[in-house]
Structure 1
C-alpha cells in the first residue's frame, strides 16, 4: 500500500469509503488505525460531500423513490458523523475564550474592497478611534510609508462609524504580507489585519507556483465612443486551481471586521474574491518589472490587440474596437475555464511499479462516486453531461502538460507505457509540476540520495578445517543499498538510459560512473573463484585495495565467512599490553591478538 506521505487525497478517500461500506481490507483498516489524523480529515470531506448530496436530493428528487433516496443519504451522513465522534470525541460547543478577546481596546483593523485595502480602528466593546489614533496605529506597524487616502467611514454593526483610510492593494501588498508574522502578544493589531496577512501569503504561494492565468476584461459604466465602437479593456490575472481545503480553511477563519465594507456576505465567496484580487495585484507588480516593446497606439486589428495585451500585462487600460475586444474576452474566458477558481474535481495521475517486463504503466483516474476511482475514459462515459465535460477539459489540459499521454498504443485514453527515463521524470520533477497545476499524483516512493556501491565477497565452503592455506569457493558482486548485483545485471543496467533499482522500498537512480567502476572491479576479480584463508583475510582487511573505499561486505556460510565476519568484532582500541606479556605490542600485533 502507498505510504501516508505519498498517498493522494482521492486514494485516501477511496479507502475511507471502503471502510464505511464494510469493504475495507485488513491492510486498509490497519492503515487507517495508524493514521487517525488523515482518517479524520477524509471523513470531514466525505461528510461535506454527503451533506451536499443530501441537500441536492431534497431539491431535485421527486416521485416514489424520494423517501428511499433521502433516507439512504441521511443514514450515510449519520454514519460518517458517528465515526467522526468515535475518532475525535463529541464536538464541544463553547463561547470565545475571554483571554483571547481584547475587550474595550481599539485595534488596527483591515477590510477589503475591490482593488483596495481599508484601514480603521475598532474593537470589541471599544469606541472607534479618531483619525489621529488611526494614523498612530499605522505608524506603530510601519504602515505610514504607504500612501493612504481619506475614505468613507466604516459602519460597525449599525451601532457606530469608524473613520478609515484606503490604499490600493498594489501599494500596500508588502506591508499586508508582513502582518501575518506579527507576534500574537501584540494586542494593538486586530484579527482582521492578521487574516489579510495569511490571505496574502496564500496568494504569493499561488503566484510562486504559477497558478494564475490572464483574462481580458472590459471596463463597464464608462461612456463608449460612438464612432469606431471603441471599448476600454485591461488585463486581470485570475487565480487558478486553488487548493479547496486551504481556501475553505481561510474562509472559515475570516473575521467579520475583514468583511465590513464588502457586499459579499458569504465567507467562501469573500475569501475567494480577496485571494483573487491579491493574486492579480502581485502579478501586475511583477509584470511592471518586465521591459516590453511599446504597444500599438491605436490597435485596430486582432494582431494589434493581441500585441497590446502582451505589452500591458500590468493591467494598464487601453482602447480597442469592441467587436475584436469582446471576442478576445470570450475566447480567453473559454481557454481558462477549466483552471480558474478552486479545483473541485481533481484527476489522479497514478504511476504503477514496473511489471515483469519492466513496463511502467501510467494511468489517469477520476472520482467515480461510491465506487472510488476509475479510469478517466470510463468516468467520462458514465458521468453526467456536465461532469463529463469537466473531465474532458481536465484531461485535455493534462495531456498538454504530460504529452506522453498522447502517445498511441494505450488500451484507453489516459493510459500510457513509460520508459525508465520517463518514469523517473514523473517521479522526480514532472509530478511536482502536475500537483502545482491542480492534479493529484501517486507514484512509487523515490529516494534522491546518491547510493555508494560496495564490494561483496561471498564464500561457500563445506570444509570445517580452518587454515591459512585452506581453499574456499568465492563469488564477487557489487551492492547498491540493499540490492546485490552481478556483473551481468550491472551490464544490463548500464545499457539503460536511466538505470534504477528498488532498495528498501524506494526507487533510486544509479550513477553510470559507479556502474562502470563496479563492472571494472568485478571484471578484475572474475578469475578469482577460489581463495585461501590468508588471501580472503588480506581482502577483508583492505590490503588488496578496494575500488570503492571503506570495508568490504562479507556474506556466505562456512568457516571462511565466519573467519572474515570476526574481523568486524575487533575493538577500536585493542589491548597493547596483554596479561602475561612483557612489553608493548605494535598496533598490527594488537589487532592480531584481539582477533585470535
Structure 2
C-alpha cells in the first residue's frame, strides 16, 4: 500500500499550491484520485544518509537529521485542492492518506464551514502583478480559537518546502476558502451579461468572484487602488473585535406570566471570560484589570458596530448611557436565530439561556426486556445482542414528552418561542416537520438488543436527534455508561494470587460483561491503578468458566517482561508464551497456551501467522500506540481476528478525537462508522465548533465501552499516598552563564538568517545547547574535563542525593539525555559511595530486567538514573519514594508518566517529586508559560518542544536571554 503525504507551497505572487507525494517518493501518476502537474520539490525531511525515513520508523532509526531531498511530487492546480483533499477520505486499497494529507483534509472542512456560514469577504488582491477577485476568510471569535489549534497542530511536513507556519496556514486557508466560496455561490452574483474588459472595474470584480478566471487584466491602477482600499477597510472592520476587551450581550428570559425579554450590555475580557462588567457599572466608573483607558468609549464603539448585525440596537443607542433594552418574544427570537450567531462569529460576547441553540425537538427511546430483567439474571441466562426487546419512541420537546396532538397544535400556532410546561423552547421548522413525519411512522414494537444499540450510536436523525434513552436490564447497564457500578461484582476469582480492590472487581465484572456480549472495551484507568491485574483476573475467571481459546496480548517491547512476570505472579496457572525474538515459534501459536504476549513490531512482521490463530480476544496494552489508524502497526493489529478485543490505555485521547475513533474501531470494528462519517458527525463539530450536542452524542455512543477511573479520586482508591510536587530552583555558575550567553548570541545570528524548516531545526538545536549548558558545561563542550563545582544543578543534586541515601530512601533521577546520564552515573556513585543504577535505550531486555529487579528488591539505599525516553513508561519502580526530573521535557504528560513509575499501586509512602529549573534561563521562562496555560497544556505542548520553534525571532530572543539574577 502506498502512503501519500501532502504539503503546502506558499505563493509569492500567486495563490499557494497543494503538493502531494508518496512515502517511497515513487511516481504518483497511477494513484487513484490524484491529478496534478509533475514537479520536483526540495524538501527538508527527517532522514539519514540513505534517504528519508517514514514517520512510523522515526522512533527506531538512529542518526536521523533534517536533510534536504529532491522529491517528485504533484502540484495540484489552485482550484482543485478541495477535490483532491476530499478524495483522501475515499482512499481505497491502492493508497493511504498520511497524517499531513488528513490534516489538510480537516483544514479543508474548516474552510468549507467558514464559507457555508458566510465567514468570508470578497477582496481585490494582486497575483503575479495582475489584480484578481478572491474570497478571504474572516477568522474572529470562536473561529480564531480553531485557527490557533490548526497552527499548533500543523504537521511539520506540511511546511517542509521552507515557508513558516503562519504563512503556510494563511495561504492554505485562503486558497481553500476561495474554492469553497466559488462552489457555494451561484453562477453569477448579478444577472445579465458578464461585463467585458472595458467595463467598470467594480462590475468586472463582482463577476470574477464566481468565474473560473478570477484575474482582472488591463485594470486601471487608480481604480484598483480605490477599490482595494475600500475592500481592505471592510476586512479590517470585520477584524476589529479581536482586542483585549469585547462588548458582550446577555439575553434573559421573561418572568413567569410576562412577555418581556431583557438584553443587557457589558464589557468582557477577551482572555478571561470571568472578567465581566455590566454596562451600568461601566457608566458608574467600574473597571477590571486590562481595561482600556476609556471603557465607556469602547462600549459605545462596540455597540455601534453591533448595530449592523442587530439593527434594533439603534433604539438603545438613543440613550446617553445605554445599558440594556427590552425585547418582545418575536424580537428575542430574531436575536437568538440571526443576530447572536453573527455577533459571536464577529468576536462579540454573547450569553444566552442554557436551552438556546439546542435542538428542542427530539426522540426518547424506551426499551424493556422480556421476562427476567436483572443484569445478573440476564448474564446467567446467556442474554446477548440477538435477544428481542420491546421498544417505544416518544417525541420530546425541551425536557417534556409530548403527544402527537400537542405537537400538531404547536405546529399550527407557528410560534418560534413557546413555553412548554413552564420551560421556554425554540421550535425549528425543520424539526417540527421531521417530528410530524415521525408521528406517522412505527413508534413501538420489538427489536434485537443489537439493533437498539445501533440506534443509540447513530443518535437518531439530523433534524430529530435521540436525546434520551430509558432502558432496563442488560441494555440499561450497558447504555448507562455505568455498567461497572451497576453490575454485581464478580469478586476475586479463585486461583488468582492476590486480592482485587473493589474498583478492580468492578473493572473485572465490566470486562466479563462485555465479553459475554461479544463486545470490546477500552479500560482507560489512570496509570498505576492495575489494568494488568484486572486483565489477568479476567483470564483466570474465563478459565473457570471453561473458555478454552487463548488471548493474544500486544504491547511495547519494554512491557513484555512485566506481563510475563505479572502473569507468573498473579495467575501461575495461565500458560504464557512470549512470542518475541529470533527463537520465537514459526508454527501455530494458539496451541497449548492461554496467553501469548508479543510486541507491536513483531505483530507487523508476523501478521500472517497471527491472523491464522483462533483467538478468544486481542488485547492492546499502551493502546495509544494504535491511535493513528494509518500506521502499519494499527492496521496490522486491526487485521487480527478475535471474538472480542480490549484496549488498555491511560490516555485514550492525547491530541485529537480521531485517536479515540482509531482505538474504538479496534475494540468494536465499525461501531462508530467509517472515519469520514466520524469526522463529520463528531470530530469537526466538537473540535472546530465546540458543539455540545455532538459532544453529548459522542459520550453516549462511546460511554458504554470506555471505563475510566483516576488515582486522585478518593472514592476509587483512598489508601494511595500523596504525590508532593515541587520546583527546585538552581543558579548558574559564572562559567555556565558565560557559555549560555555565547550560545544565545551565536544561535540567534544563525536563526535570524534562516527560514522554514532550517530555522525550525536551528531553534531546536539552540534549545538543546542551552539545556545542556544548564545541566553542566561538560555536557555542551564534551571535553571530558572534571565535573565538581561547575554546575548549580549538579551541586543541588549532590546535596539532595546525599540526604536521600542518608535517610535510607531510594530515588529515580530522569534525564532526557543519555550522554549526560553516562557521565553522571559514575560520578554520583563515587561521590555517594552507593550504587547508582543507569537504565538507557542501549541496554538489552535482560539487563533492563536485572536492573529493575535489583532496585526493587535490594534493601540498600540507592539511586536509579533513567533515560526519560527509555524508562518513562512501562516500569514498576515503587521502591523509590523520590523522583527527580534533572532536565525538563516541558511536556506535562510525559513527565507525569515518568513520575508514575513510582507513584502507583504498591507505593506505601508519599512520593516527593522535584523538578530542577535554572533561574533566569529559558527553563524558568518556559515553566512560567506552561503554568499560565495549564488548562491548555496538553494541546499547547502536547508534542514536546516543537511549539517553541514557531515563535517569532524577538520572542525567541526574549525567551533565550539570560537574566543575570540567576547567576551565583
- What TM-score comes out, normalization by structure 1 length? 0.49
Greater RCO, 1 or 2 (C-alpha within 8 Å, sep 6+): 1
